[in-house]
Amino acid sequence: MVKYYDLTKSGIQDFYNLYEENRVNSKKGVEQVVDDILQNVKLYGDTALFDYTKKLDKVDISELGLEVSRQEIDESIGRVDSKLITILQNAASNIMKFHEKEVENSWFTTRADGSFFGIKVSPIERVGVYVPGGSAILPSSVLMNVIPAKVAGVSEIVMCTPPGADGKISPLILAAAKIAGADRVFRVGGAQAIGAMAYGTKFVPKVDKITGPGNIYVATAKSKIFGYCGIDMIAGPSEILIIADSSANAKYVVADMLSQAEHDPMAASILISTDKSLIDDVILQLEFAANLLSRKDIARKSLINNGAAILVKDIAQAIELSNLIAPEHLELCVEQAVNVMATVKNAGAIFCGNWSPEPMGDYYCGSNHVLPTGGTARFSSPLGVWDFVKKSSVIFYSKEGFLKDANEAALFAMAEGLDAHACSINERL
């Protein structure tokens, strides 16, 4: 079901080149569709949102309206099983505590002449959060996007999510929005929701930044509206890479590979191991285990299209390949996992040891599950409080401090041929 590769007698570069060629990132036919949607939302506003919801989501929300009432949000808690509400509250508490550690403060340094310089950290005023719908209901994405924004001090958090067949939003999604602290919720999804938050309509307010995962249409729309507002990242299909040695449990590895395969036919599940017998066991079990899933068709397509089992000569080679791939999720199912973790350079999230499965990061431990995909972990980070603040440089010169630095600054400007810059300084001299 998954492709097998033996890299014990060859270098990793050939495999990586093949992996890059096969990395699923096709936008064929998508960009024109998204361009049309965004243009129509810009021109026709809420009318376009109603039309696209009817056309794409197959539901007429003209009577319900775009915005979910505050009463419906407040009442959602009572419509969800109390045990599940407790779980949501506990997960939210863990996420809050984790992200409070990420808070950055303004800082200033003062000179003896009274001048001071520094950075002023300010929260973004209005943020739009996109929560996917479609084939799965994801209250975890509500918590992961809204809570860091609340910790950062964002004044208003607007949430968009696709409606169900009845035109309503799942009580579970609304309960998560209530617990996390979303201010307004709109029943609109897809590229049209991204356009609405970026441009603003009569009902949906224009936001300063949009965060949250989505399908290829949502991701493409985010890439195109950048500049009208900010975005967190352009997330692609989910990925898991598991590095395992002989201490790993094959059943755990199989379960963890399937946990990503069930997301999307384009998701990638990769095992890299020093143990051939473990690989054989995993490959044997994957076929049977995939057929037991409720989303087995999705999982099977994912494994066939993007699954891999790779034999390497040692853990160092495994880490070298992993650092090239830069996976969204990296599991280290090896002895001395914490020590091995120190050698990892590129990964969205690192799960250390056999008792740290990736879904614990998705739901409960507090780390954020909105992560860089498609190799972007080489230069990107998980969603965090840092995504919901902006920074301003602050410059205050006393007269004494200015006179001390002015001549050299003016000469620097002249060296660049910028006379007016130098004049701005020299006028004060």
Q: Residue 419 and residue 411: Cα distance in Å, rounded?
A: 10
Q: Which of 99, 239, 262, 329 is catalytic?
A: 329
Q: Residue 361 and residue 121: Cα distance in Å, rounded?
A: 28
CA dihedral sign of residues 119, 210, 159, 100: negative
In the residue annotation, 263 being an active-site residue is answered as no
In the residue annotation, 20 being an active-site residue is answered as no
User: How many Cβ atoms are within 10 Å of 190's Cβ, its own excluded?
Assistant: 25
Q: Residue 309 and residue 257: Cα distance in Å, rounded?
A: 11
Question: Mapping DSSP to helix (H, G, I), strand (E, B) and coil, where does residue 89 land?
Answer: helix
Task: Give phi and psi for 391, each to the nearest 5.
Answer: -125, 140
Contacts of 88 (CB under 8 A, 6+ apart): 139, 143, 175, 176, 179
Amino acid letter at 337?
A
Question: Mapping DSSP to helix (H, G, I), strand (E, B) and coil, where does residue 279 land?
Answer: helix
DSSP sequence for 416-429 = TT-HHHHHHHHTT-
> Which two tokens mark 122?
């300010």
Q: Which of 328, 331, 358, 369 is catalytic?
A: 328
CA distances from 274 to 14, 312, 350 (A): 18, 5, 19
Cα-only R_g, the chain: 25
Q: Residue 183 and residue 65: Cα distance in Å, rounded?
A: 17
Angle at 356 between CA 306 and CA 318, to 5 degrees: 50
Catalytic residues: 328-329
